[in-house]
Every structure is written in structure tokens, then in C-alpha cells.
Structure 1
Amino acid sequence: MSRLVILSVLFALAGAASAQAQKAMPAAPVVIESLHEEEVSSSQAFVATVMPRRQAVIGSAVAGRVSEFYFDEGDAVKEGEPIAQILTETINLQIAAAKAELELRKAELAELKNGNRAEEIAQSNAEMMSAKARMDYLIARRNRTTDLYETRRVSSKEEYDEAVSAAEAAIEAYKASEAHHQMMVKGARDEKIAQAQARVNVQEAVVGELEDRLKKYTIRSRFNGYISRKHTDVGSWAEQGADMVDVVELDEVDVTAYVAEHHVPYIPMGATVRVEISAIPDKIFTGTVVAIVPQADVRTRTFPVKVRLTNEMENGVPLLKAGMLARVQLPTGGTKQAILCPKDALVLGAGKASVFVTAPGPDNSLIVQLVPVQLGITSGNKIEILGSISPDSKVVTLGNERLRPGQPIRVLEEKEAAAAPTSTSSSPR
């Protein structure tokens, strides 16, 4: 038997086996949808980089020894959560001393506001009465001595002068005692109370300043993010203003592409665009143009265009990471006719895209064929596909996860193609 005959027999047997296997496969229930052809903006892929939406280098506001470090690189932190701690023994002593001084100032103020005690006023009144009694006695003595000296001439000049001087001193002592008693009754002057209140306010400010400084001994994150780098660790001396950690926010990321100046006028703000990540070939991301930085690199004449994506979590780790290589499909002017396919119809694997297209099978049945396609511009919930596929084809949009080429299908629902919004006016999905 010749070699050609053997090959013919083998091919016949393989075809029969394939047909038999096709009949053996059960019909898979699916939902299909017609493709849609319309005029869309021309697009071009640009190399881009995944960048965190926000990133910050958090430094130490005070100098001191690092006593605690609560996170390692890669850990997630929440807004306001402590990251590291500086030793606080010295400032705690300063705060304790300042608070004690504040209590003293408050006590002095309270003493002035409360006025003198009743016992103190009674004592002052008794001293005043004693001074008055002595004054009355010395005045009477002066009067007697004056009569003896001036009328009867039996008293000496020295005795007269002494009596007069003692009486005058007693009068002044009584006046002083009376004034002091009146001050005791009235209490402190308003000006004295105001001065004491001012001393309390000053000391409260000192305590507040020290407590605010104490807060700076705890290093905190200002937003939810991830520790991307530690600049120091426990036991190290941190200078004031020294870098402690880098924190990046990855709940949303910005994919930044540098676009030539003649393409920039055709990129609308808010446009929905497709993003491919080289490290994640089995997934297509959709983002929104949020910024076109109006400052070009003068050497390349390219402008940064930022496309914002909502990140996804996988095993507690953000799927998109800062620094990843990406490709962004951006409109670049002009229009063209394009075949638009529902995104749900795409089957991704090994960095390639395919769709299951319906085809006639044996006995008036329907089967599916896997057709490789290339992807173009995104338009709402549809995406441009390029390849060996007809605009009037129908593709599987639900139930395509476990289909195999040539497998029979049972159509549960057939959707008509709906016109997709243009890429220049579409909103984020």
C-alpha cells in the first residue's frame, strides 16, 4: 500500500472520529448577539506606565530614636493609622511639668476670683479696731499733754512733742488699717484677675504646644495605601525632616502615556479607553481619560495623558501595581468603519483574544468556531475587533467560558446588536 493511500485513510478516519466526537458533545446553552458595524474614531496604542494615584514620602517632624515600626514594605495602611513611633520620655516629662505649672496658675486665678475668706476679713477688722483704739488713746494723751504744756506750764516741750508725734502716727496707722480692711472686703482688682487669667492662658498654650509636638512623635499615614519603601527601622536615629516611609495609594491607579502633540487634540477628556497590562495578558481593563497635562517634554514634544482605572484585589493584594508596563488605546483623529463586539464575547488567553462565532452544523444544528481577533478602540461596552470575521456574524456572549471549537450550542436568547456610544462621548463602564 502506497504512502498516499495510507495518509488518505488516516485523514478519513480522523474526520470520522471528529464528526463522531462532535455528535457526542452535548449542546451547550448560550446567549448570542449580533456584531455591529459603525463609524468610530481611529485609534493608536501607546506605551504607558501604571502609576499610583497618590504617593507621599512621609518624614519625621521631630528628631529622636525610632522605638516602634508597625509595618513592613508591602503592607496596607489606613488613613491616620500609626506607622512608626519616636521615643517620647523627654517630652512626656516636659508635658507633666507644664501641666503642673498650669494647675498652679489656675489655683492663683481661682484665689483672686473667690476673694478673701470671712476669717481673713474678721482678722482685718479686728486689726483696724485695735488701731482705732490706740489712735483714740494717743489723741487723748496728746490733748492732755497740750493742756499741761500750754495752760498750766507743768509739762516739758519734749513730752509735748512726743505726745503730738505719737498721736499723728496712730492716726496714720488707723487710716492704713482701715484702707487695708476695705481692700480685704472688696477683694482683688479686676486688673489683677485679668493678669492671672492671662498667665493661665499662656500656660495652656504651652501645654497645647507640647501635646501637639507629642503627636508628631507618632508617624501616621495621610491616606489609605501601601508601604512601598522603608527608609529607617527600629533603633535608628531620625533627624527632623528625615524620610521615614514611602506610601502609595493603589485603590485607583493612573496609567500615564506620553502622546505626540499632533495626537493630543483628538483625545477628549472623560473618554473611555482600553488598557492592556503586559504582566496580566488574560485581562482587559477599561479606564477614563482624567488629565492631559498641558506641559510637554520639550525634547520629545509629547504630553502626559493620564487614564484612571479602578484597581482590583487578588488574594488581598492589588492586581495593578505601580511601575507595571501598559498599553493604552487612545483616539488619534479621523474616523473609520469598525466591527464592534460585546466585551462579554471576548475569550482571553495567553495574551491573545478570540470569540466564539456561530456556524451551521450537521442536521440543521448550530456549532461554534473559535476565531482569533485583534482588539481596537473601546466604545462603551463594546470593543473593536479585527480579523477574519464577518460584520453579520453572531458571537456567544454568555456561556462561552467552557465552550470548545465545534461544540453544538442551544441558543437561550439572541440579542440584537445595539448602537454603541462613540468613544469620544462614552462614559466609564
Structure 2
Amino acid sequence: MIRPLIPAGLVLLALAAPLQAQIKPEPPRPVVSQIVQPEAGLGRMLTGTVMARTQISLGFQTFGRIAERPVTVGDVVSKGQILARLDPYTLDEDIAAAEAALTTARAQQVTATNALTRARELQARGVASTARLEEAERMLAAADAAVDSAVADLARATDARGYSDLVAPEDGVILSTAAEAGAVVSAGNPVVVLASTSEIEAVIDLPEELAGLLSIGDRFVVSLRAGATAPVTGELRLVEPVVDATSRTRRVHLTLIAPPPGYRIGSLVQARLSETDPAPLFTLPRNAIRHDGAATAVWRVDPTTRAVALVPVTLDPQGRGPRAAITDGLQPGDEIVTRGVNSLIEGQIVGMREAE
């Protein structure tokens, strides 16, 4: 009996069919992504504090013991007002000692002058030697120098007595004190810190990516959080270059233009840009941006099919922080891939999202 021959290919296919039935395709790999929402942006109300643009650390110009310090933290002071006073007893003693030293030096000067006059007369008669005359001249020169030194010492002592009162160089508020009555201080030791009220500003801490969008001269509307005082204009004077390592914020300074008396140092204020953001602002990690020359795009995940699509976006050119500010191309709720953006292809199916 002759059995029909079965092609080897059919046999292999028959054996492979059960194996293929057992092999299941691997599920799409999950992706690290972010659901974007518009930032509150620069159009929101930003909270800050009124501070003095200038703070002065004040101390005495001479050594002494503090007799009194009539001001304390929070006091409003005027230019020329006494902030602290040294005990004048020691200073008066220094003046008396300097006056006595000057009197002694002048007496020695008179004696040296008379001695020189006699030496010249004796030499003219041939009685005194040239060496004696030269010695008398040296003595007078030393006496003259001693008088000059004593005059300078008296002037310093008199000036020091005039420095016994520590006065405010301008209008301001006492921020802190460093020495109490009875303490002995050296020249230059800080006694009080004065915040000048001649020019005040609002200080606000902003997220790094938002601070990078500002330009010097931008104008804000600033108002007190408490009270019915009218709002004022604040002009951006400075964006500090250093980022706070903990909060990742940068401090901005707004000069307040003609603020009314209600804007006191330490008051809480709210500020917003005079012109709010023209479009919603989104931020993403910079490694989520795919660059193709000058063009920039991101991978957006379809929530139904989980397929990715490359979406062109517009970056704010002033953004310099670790997150890119995006002004156009995204919608609230978009799921954007933030890692592995260079390994995806158009239409690729991805798995469930994993947060950063």
C-alpha cells in the first residue's frame, strides 16, 4: 500500500499552529506622560510683601557705652531723630585729657622757643657752640610737633563727643535692633537696622518658568490684601538671577509708584500684570520637547486608541527654566509624553500612563 507523501512545509505549519495559538502579543509599553493644564500664569493675582528698597545698618562712629536706645522694632522714625545715645561721661573725660595734653605741649613749646632764643644770643657773642644751637632747634621742632599732635587728639575727642548721638539719616522704619542700653559697642558695630521709606517696593516670589517670562519695566496693578486703599502701579525693577534651591522660585521686585500711606513695610499685597496673558500658558519638562531644526513638537496620546501623534507647539522664547513654557498647540487635559520622545513613531500604540 502506497501512502501519499505530505509536503514537509505542511507538516511544519501544522506543528507551528498550536505554538502560535499559545504565543500572545506583548501589550504596548507604558509611557511616562503628563496631563497638562493651563498655568495660572502672570494674569493671576500674585501675593507679595511691601519692603524697603534700601536698608541701612547704623552704628556709632566711636567706642562707648550705650546710655539709652529710645526706639524699638517697628517704630516709624523721621530724619534727624535720635535712635540711640552713648554715655557722655567717658567722652567728656577724653576731651579733658586731650585739653590737658595740649596745655602741656604748648608749655613745652614755649620753653623750647625761649631756649632757642638764648642759644642764638650766646652763639652770637661767641659763648655757645653750634652744636648747642642745633640741639635747641631740634627741641623746638619736637615741641611744635607735640603741639600739632595734641591739637589733633583734642579735635578727635571733640568729634567723638559729637558722635554720641546716633540719628536717623532719613525717614524710615526700625527693622531690627542689635544692642541694648548698657552694652559697650565699638565704632561701626551695628545698633539698629533702618528701612528707608523714601522708596518702597513689592517683593514677590515667582516660579522660575514664570519669572523668565517677565521683562524689566513691565507694569503691574498692586493692591493691599487688607483694607480699602486704592491700588497703585508697580514697575518691574529687578528679577533676581539666583533661583531658590528649595522652592525653585525667583524673587521679583516691583517699584511702587506714588503709594499712599496705607502701603506700609511688611504689608501683604496682591499684584497682577496690567495686561493679562493673551493665551493659556502650559509648561512641560524640557525633555518632553522634540526638536527638528527650528520646529518644536510634542507627542500627544489619543485617550481612546492610545495612539501617539506629533503635535507642533510654540515655545515662549523668554523661558529659561527647567520647564518649557508653551503658548500655543496644546489644550487643557492633553496627555503628553515626557520621556523617550525620540523613540516613538507616528501612530504607535502605547500603554497606560505613568506619572513623572
The letter for the 2-side match of 1:322 is: I
Counterparts in 2 of 1:52 and 1:72: CA distance versus 1, 3 Å: closer
Q: Is the contact between residue 52 and residue 195 of structure 2 (CA under 8 Å) also seen in structure 1?
A: yes
Q: Secondary structure at the match of 2:253?
A: strand
Q: 1:50 matched to which residue of 2?
A: 50
The letter for the 2-side match of 1:77 is: S
Q: Is the contact between residue 48 and residue 255 of structure 1 (CA under 8 Å) also seen in structure 2?
A: yes
Q: 1:69 matched to which residue of 2?
A: 70
Displacement of 1:59 in angstroms is: 4.3
Q: Is the contact between residue 42 and residue 336 of structure 1 (CA under 8 Å) also seen in structure 2?
A: no
Per-residue CA distance 1:280-336 (angstroms, 9 max, x = gap): 3451110111111111111121100000114545xxxx3211111111214899635
Cα separation, 2, equivalents of 1:312 and 1:114: 72
1:267 aligns with 2:210: no
Displacement of 1:117 in angstroms is: 5.4
Q: Is the contact between residue 91 and residue 214 of structure 1 (CA under 8 Å) also seen in structure 2?
A: yes
Q: 2:100 matched to which residue of 1?
A: 100
- After TM superposition, the structure 1 = structure 2 runs for residues 263-412 of structure 1, keeping only pairs within 5 Å, are 263-310=210-257, 312=259, 318-330=261-273, 335=278
Q: Is the contact between residue 44 and residue 332 of structure 1 (CA under 8 Å) also seen in structure 2?
A: no
Identity %: 20
Displacement of 1:178 in angstroms is: 1.4
Unaligned runs of 5+ in 2: 1-40, 281-356
Displacement of 1:58 in angstroms is: 3.5
Cα separation, 1, equivalents of 2:242 and 2:152: 46
Counterparts in 2 of 1:294 and 1:99: CA distance versus 1, 3 Å: same
Per-residue CA distance 1:173-204 (angstroms, 9 max, x = gap): xxxx7125x788x6865543432333233333
Q: Is the contact between residue 251 and residue 311 of structure 1 (CA under 8 Å) also seen in structure 2?
A: no
Counterparts in 2 of 1:114 and 1:307: CA distance versus 1, 3 Å: farther
Counterparts in 2 of 1:310 and 1:201: CA distance versus 1, 3 Å: farther
Q: Secondary structure at the match of 1:43?
A: coil
Cα separation, 1, equivalents of 2:42 and 2:247: 23
Cα separation, 2, equivalents of 1:190 and 1:125: 13
Larger radius of gyration: 1
Cα separation, 1, equivalents of 2:233 and 2:276: 20
Q: Which structure's residues are more often helix, by fraction?
A: 1
Cα separation, 2, equivalents of 1:106 and 1:113: 10
The letter for the 2-side match of 1:54 is: T
The counterpart of 2:165, out of the listed 203, 218, 223, is: 218
The letter for the 2-side match of 1:66 is: A
Q: Is the contact between residue 232 and residue 259 of structure 2 (CA under 8 Å) also seen in structure 1?
A: no
Q: Is the contact between residue 274 and residue 287 of structure 1 (CA under 8 Å) also seen in structure 2?
A: yes
Per-residue CA distance 1:141-196 (angstroms, 9 max, x = gap): xxxxxxxxxxxxxxxxxxxxxxxxxxxxxxxxxxxx7125x788x68655434323
The counterpart of 1:247, out of the listed 194, 198, 201, is: 194
Counterparts in 2 of 1:229 and 1:220: CA distance versus 1, 3 Å: same
Per-residue CA distance 1:61-96 (angstroms, 9 max, x = gap): 534251573899534220x54322221122212212
1:195 aligns with 2:142: yes
- Structure number with greater CO (CA < 8 Å, separation at least 6) is 1
Q: 1:238 matched to which residue of 2?
A: 183
- After TM superposition, the structure 1 = structure 2 runs for residues 78-93 of structure 1, keeping only pairs within 5 Å, are 78=79, 80-93=80-93
The letter for the 2-side match of 1:69 is: P
Cα separation, 2, equivalents of 1:50 and 1:42: 19
Q: 1:27 matched to which residue of 2?
A: none
Counterparts in 2 of 1:65 and 1:194: CA distance versus 1, 3 Å: same
The counterpart of 1:179, out of the listed 115, 125, 128, is: 128
Counterparts in 2 of 1:68 and 1:284: CA distance versus 1, 3 Å: closer
Q: Which structure's residues are more often strand, by fraction?
A: 1
Counterparts in 2 of 1:114 and 1:266: CA distance versus 1, 3 Å: farther
CA root-mean-square deviation? 3.9
Q: 1:368 matched to which residue of 2?
A: none
Counterparts in 2 of 1:283 and 1:57: CA distance versus 1, 3 Å: same
Cα separation, 2, equivalents of 1:267 and 1:223: 33
> Comparing 49-58 with 270-279, which one deviates more in the overlay?
49-58
Counterparts in 2 of 1:271 and 1:110: CA distance versus 1, 3 Å: farther
Q: 2:293 matched to which residue of 1?
A: none
Unaligned runs of 5+ in 1: 1-40, 129-176, 338-429
Q: Secondary structure at the match of 2:251?
A: strand
Counterparts in 2 of 1:113 and 1:329: CA distance versus 1, 3 Å: farther
Counterparts in 2 of 1:214 and 1:288: CA distance versus 1, 3 Å: same
> Comparing 224-233 with 204-213, which one deviates more in the overlay?
224-233
TM-score by length of 2: 0.54
Q: Is the contact between residue 263 and residue 333 of structure 1 (CA under 8 Å) also seen in structure 2?
A: no
The alignment covers a number of residue pairs equal to 237
Counterparts in 2 of 1:46 and 1:111: CA distance versus 1, 3 Å: same
Displacement of 1:221 in angstroms is: 2.1
Counterparts in 2 of 1:267 and 1:331: CA distance versus 1, 3 Å: farther
Q: Is the contact between residue 48 and residue 204 of structure 2 (CA under 8 Å) also seen in structure 1?
A: yes
Displacement of 1:101 in angstroms is: 1.3
